[in-house]
Amino acid sequence: MLAGDVNGTARIAFKQSSFPSRRVCQTAIIVGLTTQLTEEHAMKASVFHLATQREVPADAEIVSHQLMLRTGMIRKLTSGIYTWTPLGLKVLRKVEQVVREEMDRADSLEMLMPSVQPAELWQETGRWDDFGPLLLKMSDRAGREFAFGPTHEEVITEFARAEVRSYKQLPICFYQIQTKFRDEIRPRFGVMRAREFLMKDGYSFHIDEDCMGRYYQVMYDTYTRIFERLELKFKAVTADSGAIGGAVSHEFHVLADSGEDQIAHVPGGDYASNVELAEAVAQGERAEATEEMRLVDTPNAKTIADLVEGFDLPIEKTVKTLVVEGSEESGHDFIALLVRGDHELNAVKAEKLPQVASPLRMAGEEEIRKAIGAGPGSLGPAKLPIPCIVDRQVALMSDFGAGANIDDKHYFGINWGRDVDLPEVADIRNVVAGDPASDGSGHLELIRGIEVGHIFQLGRKYSESMNAVVMDENGRAIHPAMGCYGIGVSRIVAAAIEQNHDDKGIIWPEPMAPFDVVILPMNAKKSHRVRELADQLYEQLGQAGLQVLLDDRPLRPGVMFADAELIGIPHQLVIGDRGLDNGIVEYRRRGGENHEIKIDEIRNWIDNLNG
């Protein structure tokens, strides 16, 4: 059809002259020319689905979400649920493959578990209720209940209790890369916090804690290698294990200012922790009292800021009193928590206090009035009718000011012991920049990160609740210790963009770029030699094992440049008559230096690139 078309457009002519078009490939299938079909690296823009957009979609807040939509990597189907387009999938698969290779290297065994899981399994561990509304529940025609798996501890433990019966089979680790669903209350930022997402989850089984600990270290190293291979700037931090359970846990964060998590670390040192967990160490010693405690009228002082401005009180001499719901075992409806005026309460730490209800709930104004007799702006430790726990730093304060538990009145010059008995002391605040690290290694700096991996030493939580047992050397049935290891594969794609972009678009780390090289022929329609060299390079690069995109679309140069930069292809070759006159093609490194390559040196250049 194309061959004899004298009046055919240049576009058709160009396609015709190049490497197998879609039509030719189909023919090749028929005649069995499979060698050409294995050329899956190579792709022409004219047969690919490039769907870039110039305008920024209105509801995309962060850069990665905007760029993923503008490049056409993803399309939203509904809230928190996205289609990965051919372009986006190429990136996702690359990340997946690095994860797979490193997991395999650590002797972890890939498998695939069901995403639809029966309710009974979740009821066994109690998580059918504990997981709460995050669990997407559904029922079949017979009314039996199921959940779409948000994680797979139950399924793997069920699998292991049937398959793994002897210590001789241990240790063993299984993993899968699979779509998960968590019905997040508020999905946002595109695939960064989606409801449906791609996750690598791994689970290991061990005869004892010792072995679990050793394999945990193997996974720690594996994760480190994964993020190094992906060329991301990241940090491993000690973390809270949250709903999954277990004692020891580390999170892996891709560092980016837009990250939702705060990390406390010692610059240049080993200490790094999620702020949720970072221990706040009290500094200094309590000074002698120099003032008398006095009741002061503070009619308009409802906040710490009012107090500081209106009464010339240094913020380090003020105390915030927060009222939270008490736990059942505390025997009280409400508990007061005190932190210094310039500090913040740490909810994770507070929740772990036995007196405090979990999850943490702040008391409302009405509840506070009923329990204390004054409003939230006038609370303090003196003459407080409910139990009280103070932060370590608060315990070291002297001559400080706090509410008097009478509306519009504060006590100034309060001193522990003399005026008020020192209540229970605990670490309940967030660390701030400059605090000493709890290991004494230096002073903390706070940075932001995106959590892309989390490893846990689970222990026997699941093997016990689901009664998975193996026989040990002495013929006794024991519950194996478990570890679990997650990586947010789809989130990594977004996190990588957050960390690597400029005003023109994405700057992919090479290992996850959708294509290695793009060929941009200038004015190919008119220039036979441009077309010829483009085709030749396309073939050579493909045969060299590089994933190459030939932009054979009949477009103006500006559009081609803009697309190549937006999509973020690391290496660009610009072929034009201007360069050919001088025997060169132009090479551009996305986000880096440009230079010229002599045409007769291209072969070397390609070999170099590939090596």
Determine contact, residues 157/93, Cβ cutoff 8 Å.
no
Using rule CB under 7 A, residue 532 touches RNA: no
Asked if 135 touches RNA (CB under 7 A), the answer is: no
As measured in angstroms, the least distance from the Cβ of 278 to RNA is: 15
Our finding on whether 183 is near RNA (CB under 7 A) is no
How long a stretch of residues is the chain?
611
Contact between 94 and RNA per CB under 7 A: no
Comparing C-alpha atoms, which of 413, 495, 421 is closest to residue 452?
495
CA atoms within 13 A on the CB side of 264: 25
Examine residue 171 and say whether the peptide bond preceding it is cis (omega within 30 degrees of 0): yes
Q: How far apart are CA 12 and CA 163, in angstroms?
A: 59
Is residue 79 a contact point for RNA (CB under 7 A)?
yes
Stretches 27-35, 326-334, 549-557, 601-609: which one binds RNA (CB under 7 A)?
A: 549-557
Q: What tokens were used for 323?
A: 């009222």
**Span of 47-55, 210-218, 367-375, 533-541 interacting with RNA by CB under 7 A:** 47-55
How far apart are CB 379 and RNA at their closest, in Å? 20
Does a cis peptide bond (omega within 30 degrees of 0) precede residue 118?
no
Residue 53 makes contact with RNA by CB under 7 A: yes
Segment contacting RNA by CB under 7 A, of 94-102, 299-307, 313-321, 446-454: 446-454
Site for RNA contains 512 (CB under 7 A): no
**Interaction of residue 185 with RNA, rule CB under 7 A:** yes
When asked if residue 574 is in the footprint of RNA (CB under 7 A), the reply is: yes
Q: What angle do CA 194, 486, 137 make, to 5 degrees?
A: 50
Contact residue for RNA among 233, 556, 589, 603 (CB under 7 A): 556
349 lies in the site for RNA, by CB under 7 A: no
In the 3-class helix/strand/coil scheme, how is 349-386 assigned residue by residue? HHHHCCCECCCCCECCHHHHHHHHCCCHHHCCCCCCCC
Q: In this structure, what token pair is assigned to residue 513?
A: 């770029």
Q: Does 590 bind RNA (CB under 7 A)?
A: no
Taking the complex as a whole, the smallest distance from the CB of residue 345 to RNA amounts, in Å, to 10
**Phi, psi at 249, each rounded to 5°:** -160, 140
Site string for RNA, 375-404 (x = CB under 7 A): ------------------------------
Q: Does 559 help bind RNA (rule: CB under 7 A)?
A: yes
The angle that helices 528-543 and 602-610 make with each other, rounded to 10 degrees, is 30
Closest CA to 204 of 179, 170, 176, 177: 170
Q: How far is the CB of 550 from RNA (least distance, A)?
A: 16
Nearest-approach distance from CB 56 to RNA, in angstroms: 7
- Integer Cα distance of 453 and 488 in angstroms: 6
Selected binder of RNA within 251, 325, 498, 551 (CB under 7 A):
251
Binding RNA (rule: CB under 7 A), the pick from 119, 347, 469, 597 is 347
Yes or no: say if 446 and 259 are a contact pair by the CB < 8 Å rule. Answer: no
Of 74, 338, 452, 507, which one interacts with RNA (CB under 7 A)? Answer: 452
Least distance from RNA to the Cβ atom of residue 280, Å: 18
HSE toward the beta carbon, residue 58, CA cutoff 13 A: 0
Q: Does 248 bind RNA (CB under 7 A)?
A: no
Q: Specify the residue, 231 or 586, whose C-beta has the smaller distance to RNA.
A: 586
Half-sphere exposure for 256 (CA within 13 Å, toward CB) = 23
Q: Is 502 in the site for RNA (CB under 7 A)?
A: no
Q: Looking at beta carbons only, is 62 or 395 nearer to RNA?
A: 62
Please give the sequence-ordered ranges of beta strands (E in DSSP) within 234-288, or none if there are none: 234-238, 249-255, 261-265, 272-274
- Encoded tokens for 259: 């990250």
Q: Which 8-state DSSP code applies to residue 443?
A: B
Ramachandran angles phi, psi of 455, nearest 5°: -120, 145
> What is the 8-class DSSP label of residue 60?
-
68 is a site residue for RNA (CB under 7 A): no
At its nearest, how many Å lie between RNA and the CB of residue 350?
A: 10
Judge residue 446's burial from the number of C-beta atoms within 10 Å of its C-beta, 0-12 exposed, 13-18 middle, 19 or more buried: middle
Selected binder of RNA within 41, 93, 188, 332 (CB under 7 A): 188
Q: With binding defined as CB under 7 A, does residue 454 bind RNA?
A: yes
Enumerate residues 6+ apart whose C-beta is below 8 A from 528. Answer: none
DSSP symbol at 571: E
Angle at 336 between CA 330 and CA 342, to 5 degrees: 145
Q: Quote the least distance from Cβ 14 to RNA, whole Å.
A: 11
Q: Candidates 76-84, 325-333, 378-386, 413-421 — which segment interacts with RNA by CB under 7 A?
A: 76-84
Instruction: Give the distance between the most distant pair of CA atoms in the chain.
Output: 103
- Helices within 516-571 (DSSP H only): 528-543, 557-567
Q: Of residues 145, 208, 260, 367, which one binds RNA by CB under 7 A?
A: 260
| Member of 486, 542, 568, 570 binding RNA (CB under 7 A) | 486
Tell me how far apart the alpha carbons of residues 465 and 154 are, in angstroms, rounded to a whole number: 10
| Residue 439 in the binding site for RNA (CB under 7 A) | no
Q: List the one residue from 558, 592, 593, 608 that touches RNA (CB under 7 A).
A: 558
Q: Which of 72, 149, 171, 187 binds RNA (CB under 7 A)?
A: 187
- Residue 37 touches RNA, criterion: CB under 7 A: no
C-beta of 63 vs 199, nearer to RNA: 199
Between CA 608 and CA 605 the distance in angstroms is: 5
**Interaction of residue 451 with RNA, rule CB under 7 A:** yes
User: Applying CB under 7 A, which of residues 101, 140, 424, 577 lies at the interface with RNA?
Assistant: 577
575 touches RNA (CB under 7 A): yes
**Residues contributing to the site for RNA (CB under 7 A):** 52-59, 61, 76, 78-80, 134, 182, 184-189, 193-195, 197, 199, 242-244, 251, 260-261, 347-348, 359, 451-454, 486-488, 490-491, 504, 522-523, 525-526, 554-559, 561-563, 565-566, 574-579, 586, 588
